[in-house]
Amino acid sequence: MSDCHHVTLARSGIAHVQGCTGCGCVSVHLGPTTIRIDPAGLDSLLAVLGEASAAIHAERRAAFLDAHKGLA
C-alpha cells in the first residue's frame, strides 16, 4: 500500500501542481477541477499546451502582419 503525500511542485494564478512522494502521481489543480496523471502524462500535457499556445501566438502574429500589410 502506497503512502501518498502530496508536495507542491509549482503554483501560479491558474494552476497548482502537486507531486506525490508515495506513488509518484502528479495532481494538476485547475480551479475546482483536479487532473491526476503520471509524470509522463505531465510532460505530454506540457507539450500539447505549448503547442496550443504557439498556435495562438502564430495566429495573432499572422493577423497583426495582415493588418499592417503595406506599411513596411
Which parts of this chain interact with Zn ion (CB under 5 A)? 4, 20, 22-23
Distance in Å, CB of 11 to Zn ion, minimum: 19
How far is C-alpha 28 from the geometric centre of its chain's CA atoms?
A: 9
**Which residue, 4 or 63, is less far from Zn ion as judged by CB?**
4
Distance in Å, CB of 45 to Zn ion, minimum: 18
Q: How far apart are CA 49 and CA 52, in angstroms?
A: 5
Where are the extended beta strands (E) located within 2-68? 6-11, 16-20, 26-30, 33-37
**Which residue, 34 or 53, is less far from Zn ion as judged by CB?**
34
**Which residue, 22 or 50, is less far from Zn ion as judged by CB?**
22
